[in-house]
Structure 1
Amino acid sequence: MPQRYENYDRVAIVTGADSGIGKAGAVALAGAGFDIGFTWYGDPDGADRTATEVRGTGRRCEAAEMDLTRLPGAAAVIDELTDRLGGLGVLVNNAGTGLATPFLDVTWEQWREVLSVNLDGPFRCSQRAARRMRTAGRGGRIINITSVHEHAPRVGSSAYCAAKGGLGLLSEVMAQELAADGITVNAVAPGEIATPMTGQEDVDPFTEDRPGVPVGRPGDAREVAAVVTLLASPAAAYVTGASWPVDGGMLLTGPHAAALPSHSWRAG
C-alpha cells in the first residue's frame, strides 16, 4: 500500500545561494516557512547578504562554502548543514557554472569543470540528501535547477548542454527510484534570467527587450523561485519526474530565441 509522507522536515538546503536564482530560492523558501541551509563559493559578501535576508523572515539560517570541483568530498557539506539544522526535507541543487566556447576549442579542464559543478555535484549532493531523507522516513523533495538547454542545444555550449541534459535525465531516474520513499524529484529549467551568470545583476528584466522570447523580456530570479517553492510544498506531492521550464516561452521559438533581433516573427 502507498504510504503518506506529509511530515518531511521543514528544512531546505539550497546550493549556490550567494546570488541569483539560488539566493531568490533560499529567501522564498524561508518565506514559505523553511529553515535554510545554503552553500556558496567565492563570494562571502554575497553569502552574508543571503543570510541576512533569510534571517529577516524569522527563519534559522546556516551557510557553508562548497567547491564542487573538489568532489566527492565537497558534498559532505550537505550532511554538515543537515546536522546543524537538525534535519532535511528539501534539497535544491542550484550551484552551476557556464561556458561559451566552440566545441573544438573546449579544453579538457574546462569540460571537466562544467561537468563537475553542473552534473557531478548534484549527483553527489542528491545521494547524501536522499540517504538522510530515507533514514528519517518522512519523505522529502529534491529539485534540480537545469536550464532550457536541458531540452534544446545552443551553439557554443557543448559542455553546459551536456551537463544540463544529463541532469534532466538523472532527475527522471531519481524520481523513479525514490518515489517509494516519498521523495519527489523534479527539474526546473530556467531560460534567460537576469542574474550575475547572464551579466545582468541588479537589472530590472522589465526594462530589457527580447524580441525572440514570447513574453518579450528576460525572467526575474524570483519567478524561478516561485516554481521551486511550489515544488517544495506538500501541494506538489503528486508531481515527480517533471521538468518545469520557466522561460517566458523561449522553448517555443527555439534555443536561440533570446538573440533574435526583431519582433517580426510575431506576424506569422
Structure 2
Amino acid sequence: MEDTTSFLPATAIVTGSDSGIGRATAVALAKSGLDVGVTWHSDQQGAEETADEVRGLGARAVVRRLDTTDVRGAAATIDELADELGGVDVFVNNAGTGDGVKFLDLDVDTWMRTLDTNLNGAFVCLQAAARRMVQQGRGGRIIAVTSVHEFQPRVGAAAYDASKHGLGGLIKTMALELAEYGITANNVAPGEIATPMTGQTDQDPTKTDRPGVPLGRPGDAREVAAVIAFLASPASSYVTGASWAVDGGMLQMGPQAGSHITGHDWRKG
C-alpha cells in the first residue's frame, strides 16, 4: 500500500484550461510550484494566455489541443503532455460542455456529444493519467470538476445531468481502485460560477444578485480553484472518494432555485 502522505507533486495537467475554472486552476497550481499542461478545444488564444500566466509565476507550461469527443484519440494527448512535462502527478478533468435541450426534444447526436465530452472522453483521459501515475510509482491526485448536477437535476439538462452523475460515480470507483497506489480521486462540484460557460466572462460575481443562492451571488472561478488546489496538495492525503460542493449553498435550495427564485422572501421562513 503506497503512502499518500509522502506525495510531493511537481507536474499537473488541467483539461479545458483555456478559460474559467480551468484557467484559474492552472494558475493556482502554478502558484503552488507545479508545471502545468494546458488543454483547449476551441480557444487556442485563451490557452496561450493561461500558459503565459503560468510561466509568469515561474512554472513551465505546455499547451495541447484536446477533443474529448475523440474518445479513441484523447488518451494520446494526455500521454504527450505527460511526456513533455516529465510525468503527471496531478490530473484535473475540467473539460466539459452543456446543451440546454429538454428531454423530449433531445436528439441522439446532441446526447452523444454531451456524453462523449463530459463522460466518455473524461474516462479515457482519466485512465491515461491514472496509468501514468501507477507507472511512476509515487502516488497522485485526480480531481474531476463535476457540477451540483452530479447530485441534483435541472430542467433542460438531461444529457448534462446524466454525464455529471456518471462522472461522479466513476471518480468514486476510481478512489477505491487506485488507493493502493497512493492515488486519491475526488470530485469538485461547482454551482453557478461566473465563467464563459454561464455567460459571465470578466464579470464581478459579487455585483450579481442571486436570491436563490444562500450566499446571494455566483461564485468566482478562483474560489473553485482554491478547493481543487487543496485536493491536489499533500495536505489532502486522507481525502478520497469525496465530492466537494462549491456552490454558495445552492444544493441546500435546489439548483433550479439559483436562477428561478427572484426575491429574498424565503429568508424570512
TM bucket by the smaller chain? over 0.9
- % same residue: 61
User: Residue 262 of structure 1 aligns to which amino acid in structure 2?
Assistant: G
**Aligned equivalents of 2:53 and 2:82: distance in 1?**
20
2:154 is aligned to 154
Q: How does 1:137-176 map to 2 (within 5 A)?
A: 137-176=137-176
Counterpart-to-counterpart distance in 1, 2:4 and 2:238: 11
Q: Look up the match of 1:53.
A: 53
Asked if the contact 2:24/2:221 (under 8 Å) is kept, the reply is yes
C-alpha deviation, 1:2, in angstroms: 5.7
Distance 1:88 1:257, change over 3 A: same
Match of 2:203 in 1: 203
Question: 1:5–1:139: 8 Å Cα contact kept in structure 2?
Answer: no
| SS class of match (1:62) | strand
Shift of 1:4: 5.1
Map residues 8-157 of structure 1 onto 2, 5 A cutoff.
8-157=8-157
User: In the aligned structure 2, how far is the partner of 1:5 from the partner of 1:105?
Assistant: 49
1: CA distance between counterparts of 2:36 and 2:149? 28
Are 1:94 and 1:144, in contact at CA under 8 Å, matched by a contact in 2?
A: yes
Contact kept in structure 2, 1:9 and 1:138, CA below 8 Å: no
| SS of structure 1 residue aligned to 2:104 | helix
Shift of 1:72: 1.7
Q: Structure 2 CA distance, aligned partners of 1:267 and 1:146?
A: 32
Q: Which runs of 5+ in 2 are unaligned?
A: none
When the two structures are superposed, what TM-score results if normalisation uses the length of structure 1?
Answer: 0.98
Contact 1:9 1:87 in 2 (8 A): no
Q: Is the 8 A contact 1:66 1:75 kept in 2?
A: no
CA distance in 2, matches of 1:116, 1:4: 31
Tell me if the contact between 1:16 and 1:94 (Cα under 8 Å) persists in the aligned partners. Answer: yes
SS at match of 1:244: strand
Give 1:189 deviation, angstroms.
Answer: 0.1
CA distance in 2, matches of 1:112, 1:92: 23
What amino acid is aligned across from residue 34 of structure 1 in structure 2? Answer: L
Q: Which residue of 2 aligns with 1:265?
A: 266
Amino acid across the alignment from 2:132 = R
Instruction: Count how many residue pairs are aligned between Structure 1 and Structure 2.
Output: 268
SS in 1 for 2:112: helix
Residue 185 (structure 2) aligns with: 185
Report the Cα offset of residue 7 of structure 1: 4.0
Query: How big is the shift at 1:3?
Result: 3.6
Provide the secondary structure at the position in 2 that maps to 1:251.
helix
Contact 1:114 1:159 (C-alpha < 8 Å) held by counterparts: yes
8 A contact 2:215–2:248 mirrored in 1: yes
Corresponding residue for residue 229 of structure 2? 229
User: 2:253 maps to what in 1?
Assistant: 253
Instruction: Tell me the amino acid that sits aligned with residue 250 of structure 1.
Output: M
Deviation of 1:234 (Å): 0.3
What RMSD, in angstroms, separates the aligned Cα atoms of the two structures?
1.0
Residue 74 of structure 1 and its aligned partner are, at CA, apart by: 2.0
Output the CA distance in 1 between the equivalents of 2:136 and 2:102.
Answer: 46
> Displacement of 1:26 after TM fit?
0.3
Secondary structure of the structure 1 residue equivalent to 2:101: coil
Q: Whole-Å Cα distance in 1 between the matches of residues 176 and 85 of structure 2?
A: 28
